[in-house]
Structure 1
Amino acid sequence: MLVSIRMRAIKRLSGLVAEVLDKADDTLFDFVQRGDGSISSQDYFDAMRELRKQRQEIEQRFAEHLISAFVALERRTPLIVDLQRNLAESQELSLMSEDQLEEQLGTGMIATALSRQFGPLLGQLNYRMGIIAGMDELDEKANPIAPPHVAFAFRHSMQTSEVSIRIKVLLFKLYEREMGHGLAAFYNETNRALVDAGIAPEIKPTYMRMPQAARDSRPRGPEELPGDDPHAAEAAGYGTVQMAAPPAGTRYVPVPETAAERSIFASLHELLSGYRRMRSLADGASDAHAGHGAGEGAPQMSANEVLSVLSLFQNEMPAGLQEAVSDPNASITQHIKRELLKGAERLGVSPGSRMAASDEDSIDLVGMLFDVLLDERDFNTDSRQLIGRLIVPFVKVAMLDRRMFLQKTHPARRLLNALAEACEGNTGQAPQERELMTRVERTIDQLVAEFNEDIAIFEALEQEFREFIENHRRRVALAERRTAEAQRGKERLEQARVTSLEDLRALLERHGDLPPAIEAFLRRYWTHHLTLCALRDETGSTGKYAEAVAVGEDLAGLLKLDNAVNRAERLAAMRPRLQPILVSAGCAGSAVEDVMVSLRHALGDEEIALPQAEDGVVEDAAVAALERNAPPAAVPDSEVPVAIDEPEGPALEFDEADADRVRKLQVGTWIQFTEENGTVVPAKLSWVSPISNRMLFVNRRGLRYCVASPEELAAMMREKRLNIRQNDEAFEHAMSQVLGKLRAGGRA
């Protein structure tokens, strides 16, 4: 089955690439005729000629990547695509040009756009292909036909083409558009073939389209919806792909849950029930006000009654719930249920009524999820209130479609992740940040005003918001790249200084009692030149660094000559070799002569006349002349470090297992720092130094937050000041924390 899919993929996807190249010629020619001036006409013509010449190789390289990915999958060692790295897959940060960075970002945007376009269907394809590959789990980065591989294959195929980056960006956009159309049929056919072969045929899609179903202000259950065709879900099971935001009046309707999904929710119910029991015992109360404490014989509120109460809260949250959002120590879950029961009584529901178990589970999960989300994300006061306004809509979504808790591609889940990403760490200092926050507020305003049990609005708003968040990600990626390169440059400079100072120390040990002027020249001029040579990676035995070391050695060795005249002659002969050192120091004209005069005097040339120093010591005048013309001192003379990564102060206390875990972190991993005031700050591992093994972490804006060694980070873990995030997506990370809390609470 896998071989069959591989053959179909190579044929169909390669055909789509060929269609893109066919259309590229016409597209580029259209740009020539348009003549907007941003790119010269000659660049377009050169690109057209290059694509024609390289077309066969482009198609071949594209197919080669797909074949490699399928072969790896067949061997159960899937090829994982990391779009955040360059093509060399280097473990250390390589200096990327702006062109390379544009390619990387363009590829990531292709994959992101296609993944969102085919979200629900891709989940089914990943699951089914994982089954036939004999793997427990297969995500998009490992699935050869998923968007990350499709995007990476095109970028890989274009590497040998000498096309300007601005033209490549146009081609990436063209590729994204054409693939968006072409992949729909291919994914549908592949999914149908898998279902027909009996691969997980019981899996149904999350939603089916009901185009004729009009909106109604009254919450309705699935059984009340007109036109409910039992065969429609099965047909949609092959992946009816939504190409754009749903039009007004369109309604997504949850289809029946599968047996596997019902089993998962039954397990969740057991965890929640145990957690509620233990919480009730800990509080020493029956929790009757929370809704579950009512006796089993008490009347049960229908889902429609609960939804009606929630609709009243949607535009304006109750004061108690608003206070819970503002207070990190308050339980959002308990306040939701307490306000719900009060609101139900005001609507005429019998006092003492209880909620259905499934409804209470949904409310508890959303409440606990927002408790974690608001506590562990770096939201300022305004952002916290904005995100808090999503609580009521998300409780309604959870009651309408519990699959939100299971599916990563659920539109409500994607929207929450995007909004949280935009708000976290956003202080509104820069104009772009303020613009992003304005868009967040506008999106949330529209959601709470228009959400009427039609989940389609989440997808529409997420698609509209996507452009803003992707521009934000692009700015952050550029800032992060600059931050990493600045740190890399700083460490290389530190290493070069250490190398030069070590050579200075060794020379001074070999040649004791050097005249002050000679030692001043070596410290200020010679080591400065060595540092610059080391920065240019010229530390080899035949490079300029080795030559500079030899010059210093020969200069110090002149003092071993018995005759001052011979020393002066040898110094004059060395002048061409000293010239690069003087140039590095910025010496020119009379400054060069001052330095040479000082050196001749230090070597015993009595014919040299120096200006008298204030204290009458001639040697001090020679040193003063050298200091006057020397480059700025980077390191005080007394400070000659042995290594740049030696920890200062008392020895660190850490567990070696934690240090080893930190060393294995991949670039891109997010961790949490807890500051002294209790604030939790997320930071991303951006770069690991090949020089010192120190790790650079950046904040949400791509700016440096922390640089530390694995041992220092392990010591912070021991002190509970650092925690490694399993997943950085807001919803996924919060849900993981909620499940951990439920398991721990049930055992308490």
Structure 2
Amino acid sequence: MKTASNQNVVHINKFEKSRISSSSTTQFLNDSRDMAASKLVNALSDMLGKAVDEFFLLSETNTGFEMRNLYMEAMTLARDKRAILESAFKQQFLQSFAKETRKDKNASFSASASLESDFSLVDPDELEESLAAINIANNIHGTCAEALFGIEKRIGILLHDPELSNHNNPIGPEVIGAAFMEALKDWNCDVKVKLLLVRLFNKYMPDQLKDMYQEINQHLVEKGVLPKIRVGMKKQASSASASGMTLPAGGIAAGQPVVGGNELFATLQQLLTLGGGGMGISQPGVAGGFTGGVAGNGSAIGSSAGGIAGIPAQIGSGVMEALNKLQHGQIEGFVSNGGALDAAAFTGGRTNVLREIKSSSVANTLGHVDSMTLDIVAMLFDYILDDRNIPDAIKALIGRLQIPMLKVAMMDKTFFSQKSHPARKFLDTLAGAAIGWDEAEGHQGGLYKLVDSLVQKVLNEFEDEVGIFVEVEEELEQFLAAEKHQADELTGRSAQVIHHQEREEIAKIMAHDEVRRRIHAQHLPEVIRNFLTGYWKPLLTSAYIQTGEDGVRWNNAIDTMDNLVWSVTSKPAPEDRKKLVSLLPGLLKRLQDGMETAGMPEEERNAFFSTLVRCHADAVKSGLQTTAEASAAEEFNASELDLPDDFALDLSSDAEAHMDFEEIALPATPLEPDFNLLQEISNIADEHTVNKTNELTLSDDNWQADPEVEGDDYTAMVSRLKRGTWIEFLQTDGTSTRAKLAWVSPMKGLYLFTNRLGERAVSITPSGLEMKFRDGLAEIINDDNLVDRAVSNLLDRLNQPVSAIE
């Protein structure tokens, strides 16, 4: 008579089981071992090759001294110790394979269980390495779930263990993760370097291991090892029942992944199980606390909760009903620590209501996994509600989403790590848009009003379909795109004003230098000097502004000036006098045209030409040697020239004037639009957001600067600021304001800052900005995605020993 339990497990045909002989079993296991070892070494070699290039690039682009050194050390090890690591990895894998295939399944040892029992005794670095091994295994499970399902069943048959667990699979992710970390122990390096390699292992290896498992599956099928697998639903699915998750009525089809959930959530569970770093998580026996700990196979209870192959977990109907009521503000009948729940807290969004839920009657209905999920989401909102990057008014709106986000996390654990998750994207977009929001914008218009309406829409409509988050995200993105378009136009106009002003300043100095060079190089009559400095220099300035240094107007004006200077110098040679005669008609015509353009009064023009005739006559006669002008010229000293007052240009005044912010006043008459500049402005946000790892280094070289000198850390910080970066500035009255780096002038390196809407444009020199950072009056705002920052903060805190927090 068949037992009920036998009807709900994997069925192995006795004929098929008996036809696999002992010698064949050994051969098939050896085949699987050799195929895995070969593929693992090849994949590791490929990964280390990529690591060398990636770590080198990161070391070049990272500004932090410590991280740069860590990247360089990791690169050196991956390059110089590759063969040693590959050999050690293979050896560790083969030893683990032999150990797992020999030992009694009842004597299995769990790394996770060991971590829990010895937590207080484990060295922090060893704990980091152990958790890294778990993380590697979870990453491989997530990528290779479908192939691993077949591997575990087929290897289980070969080991006479049909219910082979993950941790006892001799070619499973746990063995691979442990083997890699053991191989790294031979390297005498900082644990942070090892964790950098783990990161790249998780990035590149799982996809190759998926191919490895598929090849081994195919090989075993061809050898007759479980060609077909039929699966029934187990009654002992405690993880699923604890979380309220329901499995398909017909069981899971053959080949369907059974390792669900998410590697990040599993890591958080592990850390919570190990003690939580003093985070004050629920304790056994406390309402809402988890009472499980570690499952029999050593993994955290419910580590596969969160759905199977994309099927989200279902929250128990009682829990869902309670959370829906709380989401809609219906708190009647709910108590917390013996008292009624705070109604204002659930609608105000300024306090962590998940803490109240955790100590309320609702928590008594939660299973192990959902209780842990509540703990984790509560910790995330502790961070969010304390995040000074988000203005309080917007933070309160985000705080009203606590219960919807808890429901999302309970249903789908990929919320914690999948950046594209609709609910997570909505949170991140809200927080990103809020960075530049100013209370002065008001609550009745613009961004605040829209966010308020979108949050209310989620509260009103969200039950268990995340599609609502797609809708509100799209609406918010459309609004922000329209705002950005308007802001780009205003920013572009401000940038054009700076661009025009700088071109004028450069033109003045270019004209100044050209005139000065001619005056200092020649013994020129006073009338010529006065003409060049008083009228021809402004003409040169105007020509440079309009056409630049390569323009026809500029070069014609320079040629005319040179011809004028040459025409009044001594002409002792006959050929020079002959050349002067042929040159004069054209020269006089160009001078006449230039005088009209420069606005020289007619009487002054006539007086100048009369004097010019005498200068030419003197030059032809004896090279200016017989006139009074010539006598003065013999005592000529360029440094003693009595030049007009406006000829002395103060090159330092501009730098001093821009040591603090200068407001950009838009002209009443708009400048001619510079479409290239406008396009550059509109692309800035995309540069900053899409690929933050490729930092755009902005040069602070000034075209009139002194030779470059070595600066301090603040100089490097300013020079590497990315356009689109938000900075908070402390005002003299103690208040603060936020501004975005919108553009950097390529001519003089002026930094243009605006608010979120492209208004209140101000400019400052790099040295002025450095001074603000140095004096503590400026601070860069971390605009990484909100959930990334919250999860990272949570992981850091959970990794700390209890003593480090108390």
Using the size of structure 2 for normalisation, the TM-score is 0.46
TM-score normalised per structure 1? 0.49
The structure with the largest alpha-carbon Rg is: 2
